[in-house]
């Protein structure tokens, strides 16, 4: 088994959630949250910020750690067990630009219920639910401007 660690962000601007649409040779299609692999010497927070910037062209600001998700998938030579550390982030605008080299074909900010139904994976819907509840609590407490 190959063990891998990634980090990503649930990015919110004015209540809307950043999503990316990935299409890899028409074999893998779906809306996802930005995330990617930790590089040597990089903190989880730095990885999450870098991946949001690379994959979506968005400069995020980490607000709070959300949670970790676990999943596995099969590659020709082995099974990969992946841990993903997720962070709640804010951005300063709706501007985004999908990273074409990584097969992202679209990006944008969506209302919660739209994002929930668009997301391809259950574990990312879980992160959306948990992260958005943190966001709403912070709004009630006037800690999110």
For the segment 4-27, what is each residue's pLDDT rounded down to a tens digit?
999 999 999 999 999 999 998 877
Please tell me the distance from the alpha carbon of residue 138 to that of residue 133, in angstroms, as a whole number.
9
CA of 126: how far to CAs of 15, 33, 40, 82, 133, in Å? 17, 12, 28, 16, 11
Question: Which residue reads 């841990």 in tokens?
Answer: 83
The answer, as to whether pTM is greater than 0.85, is yes
What is the torsional sign of CA 125, 31, 20, 76?
positive
Give residue 30's region: left, alpha or beta (phi > 0; psi -120 to 50): left
Q: What is the mean pLDDT of residues 92-99?
A: 96
pLDDT over 80 (residue 113) = yes
DSSP-based three-state secondary structure for 29: strand
- Fold (CATH) for 2-140: Nucleoside Triphosphate Pyrophosphohydrolase (3.90.79)
Which residues, in sequence order, are CB contacts of 119 under 8 Å at separation 6+? 19, 30, 31, 32, 33, 125, 128
Token couple for 1: 């088994």
pLDDT of residue 43: 98
**What is the average per-residue pLDDT within 101-110?**
95
């Amino acid at each position: 088994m190959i063990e891998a660690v990634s980090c990503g962000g649930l990015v919110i601007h004015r209540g809307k959630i950043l999503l990316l649409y990935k299409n890899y040779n028409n074999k893998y299609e779906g809306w996802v949250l930005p995330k990617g692999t930790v590089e040597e010497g990089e903190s989880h927070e730095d990885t999450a910020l870098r991946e949001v910037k690379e994959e979506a062209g968005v400069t995020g600001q980490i607000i709070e750690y959300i949670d970790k998700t676990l999943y596995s998938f099969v590659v020709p030579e082995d099974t990969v067990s992946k841990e993903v550390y997720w962070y709640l982030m804010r951005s300063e605008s709706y501007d985004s630009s999908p990273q074409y080299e990584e097969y992202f074909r679209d990006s944008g900010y969506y209302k919660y219920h739209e994002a929930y139904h668009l997301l391809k994976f259950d574990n990312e819907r879980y992160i959306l639910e948990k992260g958005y509840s943190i966001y709403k609590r912070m709004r009630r407490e006037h800690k999110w401007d």
